[in-house]
Amino acid sequence: MIVWRAIGWVLFLAGLSVLVRDLIAWFETRVWMPIAVGQLWYELDRSSLNLAQAVIQRYLTPFLWDQIIVRILLCWAFVVLIGLGALILLLARGRSATRI
């Protein structure tokens, strides 16, 4: 349970840092252009992005890559990271003990 909470916090904080990056770029350029998930992944490690595409299309189904994953890769990175982190934190939250 604690591992999932740690993953959730890492994703949530990564999303906040990407949002700060986007806000800084907006203040500098006066153009709101948040980075997409795919662009962020490409800048961090382009070979793993290419490998993921090849594996998913070859061994799973091209439909999964073309219709689902590409749509996620085009979304704003901060929204996806914060949303995924919050979802994991919500699912991994501990149940409160009830006192009688």
Give pLDDT tens digits for 32-48: 999 999 999 999 999 99
- Structure confidence at residue 96 as a pLDDT band (50, 70, 90): low
**Distance in angstroms (rounded) separating the CA atoms of residues 84 and 67:** 20
Q: Look over the chain and give the mean of its residue pLDDT values, rounded to a whole number.
A: 93
In this model, does residue 31 exceed pLDDT 90?
A: yes
Number of helices (H), then strands (E), in the chain: 5, 0
pTM for the model = 0.85
User: For residue 9, which of 84, 78, 80, 77 has the smallest C-alpha distance?
Assistant: 84
